[in-house]
């Protein structure tokens, strides 16, 4: 994963690079190469073509935590290398994850996935922990499959984003040198706080694939090497974990969703939908009725 890196100060556009560009835009400065990023080049944590090379671009300041720094740098380095690995840079929209039912069943999936990971990461792991892990894991994928019955176009869109951002984040996580205690903290922070994010339409993939991937890595540490641009990751996990998807998903979901605080999630999402509808109506009235601007 080591290769061309651009670290950018977004306030000054100052570049700190680990190697020179092809055209001499960067100047040698001891062990670094420095310069100013042109105004027409957007600044982001991303991969880009610039100065005759493919770079991973990282915005400064870096995270203070060592493992978080590694995860970020390796994530973006994966994006730099992914074309050579056969992965397209797909960033599809997932607007269903801004809608009430899409959010509800994603949150339920996260609740089940969280319980599965934490069951596995118990310090004194027992056979009961493994049983609980497998049951929660199964339920997480059931919530996902049911979500797709509500939004048939969601399967492909979610999968493309998980192939792009999820696999990159998994690569960063697994090479971040975290021990089991740090892994538990990583998953607790991510999976516990996910529901607080203002939007799920892109963020979900950064958490789902690392969590599913970590559990699968206990069976096959090289599972990701079997993944290609054509892989349906959900079906891949279902097969790898030998999970049986019942034909009557609705009835199964009704029997398990109370385990995952469903009533509170439902209430919160109904309230959010009402508040969002009120806000949209307010803006429509201001900009389309009260004081429209015609050009």
- Give mean pLDDT, residues 112-134: 83
DSSP structure string for 83-94 = TTTT--------
Do 191 and 239 reside in the same domain of the chain?
A: yes
Whether the predicted pLDDT of 43 surpasses 80: yes
Q: Are residues 62 and 103 in the same domain?
A: no
Please tell me whether the overall predicted TM-score, pTM, comes out greater than 0.95 for this model.
Answer: no
194: CB partners within 8 A, 6+ apart: 107, 110, 200, 203, 204, 207
277 within some domain: no
Q: Which residue has the tokens 């607080």?
A: 196
Give the whole-angstrom CA distance, residue 96 versus residue 130.
33
Token digits of residue 253: 């979901």
Mean pLDDT, to the nearest integer, of 4-29?
97
Q: How would you classify the pairing of strands 53-59 and 5-9?
A: parallel
Listed residues 39, 58, 81: the one ending a domain: 81
38 shares a domain with 106: no
pLDDT in tens, 149-181: 999 999 999 999 999 999 999 999 999 999 988
> Do residue 121 and residue 240 come from a single domain?
yes
pLDDT band at 124 (very low <50, low <70, confident <90, very high): low
Indicate the number of domains in the chain. Answer: 2
Q: Are residues 118 and 76 in the same domain?
A: no
Residue 55 contacts residue 4 (beta carbons within 8 Å): yes
Average pLDDT over all residues of the chain: 94
Closest Cα partner for 209 from 170, 154, 159?
A: 170
Domain check: are 124 and 71 in the same one? Answer: no
In a domain, 289, yes or no: no
Reported as a single tens digit per residue, the pLDDT across 74-122 is 999 999 999 999 998 888 989 999 999 999 999 999 999 999 998 888 7
Instruction: Give the pLDDT band of residue 140 (cuts 50, 70, 90).
Output: very high
Domain with 23, as residue range(s), is 5-81
């Amino acid at each position: 994963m080591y290769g061309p890196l651009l670290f950018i100060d977004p306030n000054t556009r100052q570049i700190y690079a680990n190697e020179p560009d092809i055209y001499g835009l960067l100047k040698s400065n001891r062990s670094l190469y420095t310069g100013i990023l042109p105004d027409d080049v957007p600044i982001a944590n991303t991969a880009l073509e610039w100065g005759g090379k493919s770079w991973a671009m990282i915005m400064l300041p870096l995270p203070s935590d060592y493992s978080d720094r590694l995860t970020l740098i390796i994530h973006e380095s994966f994006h730099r290398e992914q074309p050579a690995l056969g992965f397209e840079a797909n960033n599809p929209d997932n607007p269903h994850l801004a809608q009430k039912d899409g959010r509800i069943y994603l949150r339920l999936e996260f609740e089940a996935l969280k319980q599965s990971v934490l069951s596995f990461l118990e310090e004194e792991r027992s056979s009961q922990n493994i049983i609980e892990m497998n049951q929660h894991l199964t339920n997480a994928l059931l919530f996902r499959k049911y979500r797709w019955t509500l939004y048939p176009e969601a399967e492909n869109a979610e999968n493309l984003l998980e192939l792009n951002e999820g696999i990159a984040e998994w690569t960063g996580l697994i090479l971040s040198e975290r021990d089991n205690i740090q892994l538990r903290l990583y998953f607790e922070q991510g999976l516990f706080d996910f529901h607080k994010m203002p939007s799920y339409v892109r963020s979900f993939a950064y958490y789902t694939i690392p969590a599913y991937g970590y559990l699968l890595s206990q069976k096959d540490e090289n599972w990701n090497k079997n993944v290609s641009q054509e892989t349906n990751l959900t079906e891949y996990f279902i097969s790898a974990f030998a999970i049986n998807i019942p034909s009557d998903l609705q009835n199964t979901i009704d029997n398990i969703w109370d385990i995952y605080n469903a009533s509170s999630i439902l209430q919160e999402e109904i309230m959010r939908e009402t508040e969002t509808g009120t806000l949209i109506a307010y803006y429509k009235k201001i900009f389309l009725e009260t004081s429209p601007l015609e050009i």
